[in-house]
Structure 1
Amino acid sequence: MVTCVIVVLGSFRVVVDGRQVPDDSWKRTKAAGLVKILALAEGRQVHRDVLADQLWPDLSGPAAGANLRKALHFARAALGSPDAVQARGDLLVLLPDADVSIDAERFESEGRAALASSAGVAPALALYGGELLPDDRFAVWAEAPRDRLRTLYLRLLKAAGRWDDVLKAEPTDEEAHRAIMVRALGAGDRQSAIRQFEQLCRELRADLGIGPSAETVAVYEEAIAEDRRRAEHRARATLARALIALNRGDLDEASSSARRARELAISANLGREIGEASAVLGIAANMQNRWPEVFEAEFEDFAQGDSARADYVLDAQLCLADYCLCGPDGHRSIAQRAARLRTVAEQTGSLHGQAIAELLLGVASLFSGDLDGARRFLESALELHRRAGAKAGEILTRQRLAELDVLQDRRPDAAREASRALTAAESTWLEPHLVVRLYGVLAGAARSPAEAVRVIERADAALAGRSVCSPCSMGYHVAAATSYALAGRLATARRRLATAEQLAGMWPGGPWHAALWEARAVLRQAEGHDDQANALFREAAAGFAELGRPLDELRCLTRAERRPSLATSGTPLAG
């Protein structure tokens, strides 16, 4: 009997009768994909129509079927036998007459048995060779088995008490951080427990409204019990309590704790914590529908000079300022406030305050269709941010200038501006907000749908495993759905559109519901349903008109009259 060993954990290899199938035998990647899908399937068998749809989701049934027949030929040739993949009715079966060993199958079987019996898990852990099929990280068919195997691996690590290895695999796992803190306390090493908590807080990102649980905070407070006088420790503990209150909906308590945390952070000169506490204040105020008033008060309090602490306080409000600019009539009301705040900043000599005011005025002009005014304000804001050394504001200003370049059909300029900003954004404390925005702009600046898809694929890889601000990512997800639709990759476009729709449901208001109508229209048009597409474009245009966004409205009306071209393949201005 033929023996076959298939490795899918950490890499992809096939060994038949002791001889490894050469890598160049899998140059026909769909032949390799066919073998991988069958190897992961229960009973190593899949209906041929399902297999064709998984490998060629954007092709019609007959076209996908023809490709499947070619892939079968090359897969059988690579495995060395015409019987390596057999057809049994409508099912395709991998190596039904061979003695087959698949590393993922063995790991899953022994891993579940170890957990069920509470026996030693070390032998099962030794079978995990790494992430499932890392070269197919973005293949839809690999997502479910990859997540299942990875979850089992983490459960086994936890059962073995290998908490450091858990964090290598999942840096945000709070249970592992807490277990390491408890271990350090048990050994009398309070400083290690404190450092572990600080690492956890960096991973969870308070500026995104995410923080540790009450149980973990209690361990931290035990660690600092003998040194409560240190403001830095009390600042972090109080900030964590603010986040707990925020997430349970106690907004008054969240605001009170955040103010106290910020006072402590200021006294300890903790810049990041100053910004994060300010962000929590802003998030709570936004949930209470009073952010503009809170922002104005914060601005007037802290724009009295250009100290580093003021930079963190003001930068923390940039994301929420953009969010409010995108609401119904938001750019008009925020522009009025910004004009007043610019006067305050000029009177107090705050370069950073003037820069933020000019930025807000520039974005308001951009949204209202005054492109000349937008460029004037944004270029002024860029220079002021540079002089103030305010990196986050400079990056956000470059993003808006890049969007302006796209609107004025200066795509190469837009790509250069966004790329320059992206490089700088990676090292800022507001990176989860800025990076995803800039990838969305780069996709919009692409010269063709195929180039835009390459940008999105590169961005997906760069963003994998990172914390990302949900509202800030809306423009990116809409750009992804639109780019894939225009490139003819319709199944992927539908999936990306579903992601965007889910996020939009979590963040009502702003331009995103109109943007989603537009993205749906682009997809319907790509599917050949022109009448439905035109109706959706008009719906999107009406939504943008209600928001006072004439350029977005005009683009949608233009698209309703003709098929999309490079000149009309842009995406809405980011929010």
Structure 2
Amino acid sequence: MLVIGQQVGIAMVPLCCDKRDVAQLYLLALEEGIARDHVCRLIKQSGLAAAAGAVSPHWPWPIRLQTLGHVRIECDGAPIPTKRKQSRKPLDMLHLLAIAGDRGMPVAHICMALWPDSDGDAARKSFDNTLHRLRKLLGGERHVLLHSGNLSLNHGTCWTDLAALNACMLESAALDKACTVAQLTGLAERVLGLCQGELLPGRNDLPEVLGARDRIRSKFLRLMLSLGSKLEHAGEQNEAMLLYQCLIEQQPLAEEAYRSLIRCHLALGHRAEAFEIYRRCRHHLSVVLNLAPSSETEVLVAPLRALQAAASMRPPEPRAQGSAP
């Protein structure tokens, strides 16, 4: 139906269809690669919001917000310019809403976070003014919703990397033992594509950002370890090792990631490589945190220590007769 519509240049969707059903139909078509250009054009022409919970990169999102590793805001595919003299408050409000996710954030909480030294009336006036400027920056009121004293992004028109990361978490939890290696590696690639670094780098002035940064770091660690473990159980140690190496590059103090990488090397008989990973782990923990590896890590590498000790006690091999001194 959509392919025929593309050929003749019309929508080819029954008028009686509910908008939510149409959104699901279009999302399925985009995910399956069916008439993508035509479907995106129909979505933009109708102003159709994405289905609840959708985070597909193929959907033509009016607003896209990246917060992990670098900050970028796009409106209809073009980056939103920010002037140096422009107040940061609208962007601060946008970042708080991205962190809050689907549940949004109470107006009182936003006022306390952004105007802690203002009284109630002054803070509310600043809130109303900042909300107006944020909506103007994003190109419309429909992107930021105020309902019953709660402010939130419209996740039918706004894509955020944090929402996409949460969707990956749910997808990983739903994977069963019958999942394929391609599913696991594909999901891992998407997660690594989303998590390019810490949340809102350089923004250390908002306590909400600092708290969310720790939560996301922990969430990313758990997700990658879970995917790596599934790959190990599928006998794909090499794929798991690549995943753990990427994890360590982003979180060089994640001791559990080092242990997982050591375990893979040991399973493949790579004793020297396993001990070198242990030494790297020990070095980072000592230099940065002034800590020694945990007992769990030490137990894992104990056989390697014993082999090294035995090798050091072995007498040197005698030289062959006639060899040079």
Contact 2:65-2:161 at 8 Å conserved across structures? yes
Greater RCO, CA 8 A, separation 6+: 2
Provide the rounded CA distance (Å) in 2 between the counterparts of 1:181 and 1:83.
50
Out of 286, 296, 303, the position equivalent to 1:215 is 296
1:225 aligns with 2:306: yes
Provide the rounded CA distance (Å) in 2 between the counterparts of 1:54 and 1:150.
22
Contact 1:28-1:74 at 8 Å conserved across structures? no
Letter in structure 1 aligned against 2:258: H
Provide the rounded CA distance (Å) in 2 between the counterparts of 1:209 and 1:18.
46
Contact 1:44-1:94 at 8 Å conserved across structures? no
User: How far is the alpha carbon of 1:207 from its aligned partner?
Assistant: 11
Q: Which residue in the other structure is 1:37 paired with? A: 96
Out of 170, 175, 179, the position equivalent to 1:117 is 175
Provide the rounded CA distance (Å) in 1 between the counterparts of 2:213 and 2:122.
29
Aligned length: 231
TM-score, normalised to structure 2, is 0.60
Fraction of identical pairs, as percent: 24
* 1:253-272 Cα distance to aligned partner (Å, 9 max, x none): xxxxxxxxxxxxxxxxxxxx
Equivalences for residues 242-321 of structure 1 within 5 A: none
Contact 1:31-1:72 at 8 Å conserved across structures? yes
Out of 115, 135, 138, the position equivalent to 1:56 is 115
Structure 2: runs of 5+ lacking an equivalent? 1-46, 49-61, 229-239, 313-325
Provide the rounded CA distance (Å) in 1 between the counterparts of 2:113 and 2:287.
39
Provide the rounded CA distance (Å) in 2 between the counterparts of 1:110 and 1:187.
29
Structure 1 residues 122 and 25: CA distance shift in structure 2, 3 A: farther
* 1:325-374 Cα distance to aligned partner (Å, 9 max, x none): xxxxxxxxxxxxxxxxxxxxxxxxxxxxxxxxxxxxxxxxxxxxxxxxxx
RMSD, matched Cα: 3.2
Contact 2:143-2:158 at 8 Å conserved across structures? no
Contact 2:101-2:152 at 8 Å conserved across structures? no
Provide the rounded CA distance (Å) in 1 between the counterparts of 2:73 and 2:97.
13
Provide the rounded CA distance (Å) in 1 between the counterparts of 2:253 and 2:114.
33
Extract structure 1 runs of 4+ deviating beyond 6 A. 206-209
Structure 1 residues 198 and 124: CA distance shift in structure 2, 3 A: same
Equivalences for residues 38-187 of structure 1 within 5 A: 38-43=97-102, 45-82=104-141, 84-95=143-154, 99-118=157-176, 119=179, 120-125=183-188, 126-127=190-191, 128-130=194-196, 131-158=198-225, 159-160=227-228, 161=240, 162-187=243-268
SS of alignment partner, residue 209 of structure 2: helix
SS of alignment partner, residue 14 of structure 1: strand
Provide the rounded CA distance (Å) in 2 between the counterparts of 1:134 and 1:26.
20
Provide the rounded CA distance (Å) in 2 between the counterparts of 1:79 and 1:201.
47
* 1:469-506 Cα distance to aligned partner (Å, 9 max, x none): xxxxxxxxxxxxxxxxxxxxxxxxxxxxxxxxxxxxxx
Letter in structure 1 aligned against 2:186: P
Structure 1: runs of 5+ lacking an equivalent? 232-575
Letter in structure 2 aligned against 1:216: T
Letter in structure 2 aligned against 1:9: L
Out of 240, 249, 272, the position equivalent to 1:191 is 272
Equivalences for residues 139-538 of structure 1 within 5 A: 139-158=206-225, 159-160=227-228, 161=240, 162-205=243-286, 210-228=291-309
The structure that is helix-richer by fraction is 1
Contact 1:11-1:135 at 8 Å conserved across structures? no
Contact 1:56-1:64 at 8 Å conserved across structures? yes
Provide the rounded CA distance (Å) in 2 between the counterparts of 1:122 and 1:212.
29
User: How far is the alpha carbon of 1:142 from its aligned partner?
Assistant: 1.9
User: How far is the alpha carbon of 1:83 from its aligned partner?
Assistant: 5.0
Letter in structure 2 aligned against 1:142: V
Provide the rounded CA distance (Å) in 2 between the counterparts of 1:209 and 1:17.
48
Contact 1:181-1:193 at 8 Å conserved across structures? yes
TM-score, normalised to structure 1, is 0.36
Q: Which residue in the other structure is 2:5 paired with? A: none
Q: Which residue in the other structure is 1:522 paired with? A: none
